[in-house]
Amino acid sequence: MAFSFIQIISFIYLLVTSPCIASLLSHHKECLALFEFKQSFLHQPYASFDVGKLLKLDSWRKITSNTSNHDFDCCLWDGVKCSDKGHVIGIDLSQSSLHGSMKSNSSLFNLVHLQMLNLSMNDFVESQIPSEIARLKQLRRLDLSNSSFAGQIPIEISYLMQLTLLDLSWNPLKLQSPSFEELLQNLTSLEELHLSSVDISSFIPPFLSNFSYLRSIDLESCRLRDQFPSKILHLPKLKFLNMANNPILTGSLPEFQNNTLLEHLDLYSTSFAGSIPESISKLNHLVYLSLDECYFSGCIPFSLSNMTQLTSLSLGQDEAWAFALAYPSHLSKPTGLEICEKRGMHDWISKLINLESMSLVQITMYDEILPSLANLTKLNMVILMGNHIFGHIPSSFMNLTRLRMIYFIETQLQGQISSSLSNFKSLEVLCLMYNNFSGRLELDTFVGLTKLRYLYLDGNRLSFVTTKNHTSEENLPEFEVIGLSSCKLTKFPSFLRLQKKLIYLLLPNNKIEGLVPEWILNNIKETLLGLELTYNSITGFHRHPNFLPWARLEVLELG
């Protein structure tokens, strides 16, 4: 049967415009757009140990007339996800060593079916987020974190009303116009809101407490101010809340209900105040709780003992103690928190058997807490600072062999430091500053502690005894910081001649005589940042150098 010309044209038209063929044509264009996007950036692999994570783009082959069907199909490329109809709906190029500016005319914005876009952990050299992102109206998940985007966040992101994840954190971004309120007002489907380090400089809009799908809010270091809407803590699906490092953000803890799912609560370095409610124990899913460097006052509730899922607990007033490690100084006024229960602290702390880290700073307590820590066999970090804790370190404490960090600073601990410290094979930091420890402490105690990098014994009544055994000295850790003030030293410890990685060396308030030896000048020329030799009987430098050899030196104290 013969076909007329019109019938043939009609047949071809129907064929080309059928869903199948139209989809194929669109798919080809989307693959071209993807490859063009790749070509617009430099691809510079990182160090060899990361290469396994950075090979996604190697499968993105150039599309030519000779390209095989396998290479042509961008749905088979690493990091690309397609729908059943062949549309590109997902791109994951996280940590793919992309380097270059994001242009407003990028072919990426032609992929209008995209539902997920992850470009985190790349380097877009402080380019702005293009307003053309509004073309991706199907986006549900947008992750541009840690990618060196900069400047104003465009209002067009607020047009992406289907977003469930918005992560722009750890970029030098700011929110002025639009404001925080304007950015969020249409994004009512959000489940995860992560804007840490974005300069928001605003209040938190109260309507955020009506976003019932929210599971995770991370607004650390955002310069937030004014009153935190406490109803946010009652969101039915909320599991993660981080408001840390917003020092002028005020607020208080509400009464909690049994139906909360909260697992992570971080209010570190905010202006939250008031009391810690007894009902905090109803947060029975809570794993992480940080309330330090706030303005809470009153009694620490005994009900904390019911929070047996906790792995990290931080309470108290921090007062920049980390800086004080390098430049020791006595702590200032204590926090308003105190142990009021007659049963004492040890009765409830010993029940938190899942604790991995604990920080209790400047809390008013008069108690022997250390014996109760023996039950916390999962501990890897313990910080007790500025508290009235009496007695010796009990032998049971030496069984906590998972410990990586020990900070006992300005407590009332006394007695001899046990040689059993050598049991702590995972120890990285040992800080026993400003206590009442006395007696001899042998250098050999630290032999075999291969991970130990920071050692602070300042401000006690110890006699630090160095070894004459050169084999022992060779098996010592490679220290980065050594603080031995007031340790009754009469000369520069000989083991220092084998230390090649020292950053800070603090030897004040001893009885060291004579010249600074030449090996201190030569061994750590490239690493030393701080040297303190005050209040000794040092008479000068060996060979009287005309210049100091330490290339990176920031602090030198010889008073």
Q: Which helix (H) or strand (E) holds 99?
A: strand 98-99
Q: Name 409's bridge partners.
A: 385
Laid out side by side, the sheet with 270-274 consists of 226-227, 246-251, 270-274, 295-299, 336-338
Q: How many CA atoms lie within 13 A of 94 on its CB side?
A: 12
Cβ–Cβ < 8 Å for 104, 129: no
DSSP 472-518: HHHTS---SEEE-TTS--SS--GGGGG----SEEE--SS--EEEEPH
Give the pLDDT confidence score for residue 392 in this predicted structure.
87
Give the pLDDT confidence score for residue 14 in this predicted structure.
41
Give the pLDDT confidence score for residue 298 in this predicted structure.
87
Burial class (CB in 10 A: 0-12, 13-18, 19+), 203: middle
The neighbour count for residue 236, using CB atoms within 10 Å, is 12
**Amino acid in position 513:** E
pLDDT (tens digit, 0 to 9) for every residue of the chain, 559 residues total? 454 544 444 444 444 444 333 444 578 889 999 999 998 887 655 443 444 445 778 888 766 555 555 557 889 899 999 999 889 999 999 999 899 999 999 999 999 999 999 999 999 999 999 999 999 999 999 999 999 999 999 999 999 999 999 999 999 999 998 999 999 999 999 999 999 999 999 999 999 999 999 999 999 999 999 999 999 999 999 999 999 999 999 999 999 988 899 999 999 999 999 999 999 999 999 999 999 999 998 888 888 888 989 999 999 875 444 444 444 444 444 456 776 665 555 667 888 899 999 998 888 776 667 788 888 999 999 998 888 787 888 888 988 999 999 999 988 899 999 888 988 999 999 999 999 999 999 998 999 899 999 999 999 999 988 866 666 777 899 999 999 999 999 999 989 988 999 999 999 999 999 988 888 878 888 999 999 999 999 988 877 667 778 889 999 998 8
What's the pTM value of the predicted model, to 2 decimals?
Answer: 0.84
Q: How far apart are CA 149 and CA 165, in angstroms?
A: 18
Class of domain 413-559: alpha beta
H helices then E strands: how many in the chain? Answer: 8, 36
Cβ–Cβ < 8 Å for 141, 168: no
Give the pLDDT confidence score for residue 349 in this predicted structure.
82
Give the pLDDT confidence score for residue 348 in this predicted structure.
76
SS3 state of residue 192: strand
Instruction: Please list, residue by residue across 244-275, b when 16 or more beta carbons sit within 10 angstroms of its beta carbon and e when fewer do.
Output: bbbeebebebeebeeebebbbbbbbbbbbeee
For residue 36, CA distances in Å to 110, 132, 365 come to: 11, 17, 64
Instruction: Determine the angle formed by the axes of helices 19-39 and 5-17, rounding to 10 degrees.
Output: 50
Give the pLDDT confidence score for residue 470 in this predicted structure.
62
Q: How far apart are CA 295 and CA 551, in angstroms?
A: 42
Give the pLDDT confidence score for residue 344 in this predicted structure.
55
What are 36's two structure tokens?
């063009």
Domains of the chain: which residue ranges? 413-559
DSSP 253-286: -----TT----EEE-TTEEEEE---GGGGG-TT-
Residue 126: phi, psi to the nearest 5? 60, 35
Give the chain's end-to-end CA distance (angstroms, integer).
Answer: 109
The distance of Cα 378 from the centroid of its chain, to the nearest Å, equals 21
